[in-house]
Chain A
Amino acid sequence: DIQMTQSPASLSVSVGETVTITCRASENIYSNLAWYQQKQGKSPQLLVYAATNLADGVPSRFSGSGSGTQYSLKINSLQSEDFGSYYCQHFWGTPYTFGGGTKLEIK
């Protein structure tokens, strides 16, 4: 199985700052990567698919990048509604696996 390692596990940031979350796959996943946001008590919501494509309705301050085994999610000018947990997930063959998550908290 492909292992997905996310970092950092948690991050304390202020509104207006820029943050980058990284995800490393244990083997090449050929950009078959998605990012999700999960707010407290809610289900995950798709942010980015195929490494760089924003899902419908996702603000342009979010962006995804990467290739091979290394991927990143960048959030420019953090807004209060961006706080929560973020997960990466590969879909390069089953089993699709998720990263352990990054919890973004208000400083």
Chain B
Amino acid sequence: DVKLVESGGGLVKLGGSLKLSCAASGFTFSSYYMSWVRQTPEKRLELVAAINSNGGSTYYPDTVKGRFTISRDNAKNTLYLQMSSLKSEDTALYYCARQGYGNYGYFDVWGAGTTVTVSS
């Protein structure tokens, strides 16, 4: 079965840091672009980071650029998201998602998510 399992979420103070992990199984991880998508408490969905199949190219929207870093370890079939200088608006459910094969920008597999809560 194709599966993505996120971990590493939790409660963190304003300005703090957190690292999320996503363990992939059931498919050739190194062949796919991967992303992190978050869902706010208001249920809005937002792409926060994306990475190509070999890790050589990344994308961040302006809302997290300079604060979040996406990376991957293809030998361990694992995706990461390092988050720093966290703000209250970063509070969300963070999903790891696989992009469609061939670098299409839709997300065909999602994990169950891990919750990040930023408090003062």
Q: Is the CB of A44 within 8 A of B110?
A: yes
B32-64: CB near A (< 8 Å → 1, else 0) gives 000000000001111100100000000101000
User: Besides the contacts A44-B110, A89-B45, what 20 more A-B pairs have beta carbons closer than 8 Å?
Assistant: A32-B105, A34-B107, A43-B110, A44-B45, A44-B95, A44-B107, A49-B100, A49-B106, A49-B108, A85-B43, A91-B104, A91-B105, A94-B59, A94-B61, A94-B105, A95-B59, A95-B61, A97-B46, A97-B47, A101-B44
Q: Which residues of B contact A34 (CB under 8 A)?
A: 106-107
Contacting residue for B44 out of A45, A92, A98, CB 8 A = A98
Q: Which residues of A contact B61 (CB under 8 A)?
A: 94-95
Complex A-B: 27 CB contacts under 8 Å: A32-B105, A34-B106, A42-B112, A43-B110, A43-B111, A43-B112, A44-B45, A45-B110, A46-B106, A46-B108, A49-B106, A50-B106, A89-B45, A89-B107, A91-B104, A91-B105, A94-B47, A94-B59, A95-B61, A96-B47, A96-B105, A97-B46, A98-B44, A98-B45, A100-B44, A101-B44, A101-B45
Q: Which residues of B contact A32 (CB under 8 A)?
A: 105
A55 contacts chain B at the CB level, 8 A cutoff: yes
A83 contacts chain B at the CB level, 8 A cutoff: no
Complex Cα gap A34–B109 (Å): 13
A71 contacts chain B at the CB level, 8 A cutoff: no
Contacting residue for A87 out of B45, B47, B59, CB 8 A = B45
Give chain A nearest CB distance to B102 CB in angstroms: 11
Q: Which residues of B contact A100 (CB under 8 A)?
A: 44
Chain A interface size band reads 20 to 34
Complex Cα gap A94–B113 (Å): 22
Q: Which residues of A contact B95 (CB under 8 A)?
A: 43-44
Query: Which residue in chain A gives the minimum CB-CB distance to B99?
Result: A91
Give chain A nearest CB distance to B67 CB in angstroms: 16
Q: Which residues of A contact B104 (CB under 8 A)?
A: 49-50, 91
Q: A49-B100, A96-B47, A100-B44 are in contact. Are A91 and B59 (CB under 8 A)?
A: no
